[in-house]
Structure 1
């Protein structure tokens, strides 16, 4: 590496990690199916006259995203409460691990 930090790349469609492979362009999607879904969405938004960078989600996807954000906020509140109550290191480490897991899950749009 030339002075730059390695970035953890995630799939532009589902948010899963994208494996780094050999040379050439960096992959943007983790699987061919994600690449296909992204292509289909770009075409449907173009036909509908929506802006190119529009993201179309179903009501269920929006509800799931809101649920993940709520769980993330609750975990952050748990960490803040534990810190305020001088919880021991083991408890704080467990809460932080939970928070990190929920944050990674919340990054996904779908």
Structure 2
């Protein structure tokens, strides 16, 4: 019986895909630098009222995330319009591929 394939894990710091660990514990970070940034943030919030698992974004990061989400919504609306107008399969395929790429990009919050 084949092993069940698991959905790729996302880095808990940046949201990028994490390479499978093989044997042992699942990896939580895509790179050592993400692991380091997460450690620094955990230490920065010690002794404050900010929860240790809080995600703190700069104004620039929050704005970029908002922009990516807006672009994602627009791409989803493009797909819905194409379906409503009876678009050809190839056009729908191209639009959905773009939508998936944008959704992956929107998952990153740093």
> Fold conserved (TM > 0.5)?
yes
Listed as ranges, the gaps of 5+ residues in structure 2 are none
Residue number in structure 1 paired with 2:15 = 15
- Displacement of 1:22 in angstroms is 2.7
TM-score (norm 1): 0.92
Q: Secondary structure at the match of 2:10?
A: coil
- Displacement of 1:53 in angstroms is 2.1
Q: Structure 2 vs 1, CA of residues 90 and 2 (structure 1 numbering), >3 Å: closer, same or farther?
A: closer
Is the Cα contact below 8 Å between 2:8 and 2:20 reproduced in 1? Answer: no
Residue number in structure 2 paired with 1:63 = 63
Deviations, residues 36-71 of structure 1 (Å, cap 9, x unaligned): 000101111224331122111100000000000000
Q: Secondary structure at the match of 1:46?
A: coil
Listed as ranges, the gaps of 5+ residues in structure 1 are none
Verify: 1:106 aligned to 2:77, yes or no: no
Deviations, residues 5-56 of structure 1 (Å, cap 9, x unaligned): 5121011111111111331111100111000000101111224331122111
Q: Secondary structure at the match of 2:87?
A: coil
TM-score (norm 2): 0.92
Residue number in structure 2 paired with 1:77 = 77
Counting matched residue pairs gives 110
Residue number in structure 1 paired with 2:96 = 96
After superposition, the CA RMSD in angstroms is: 1.6
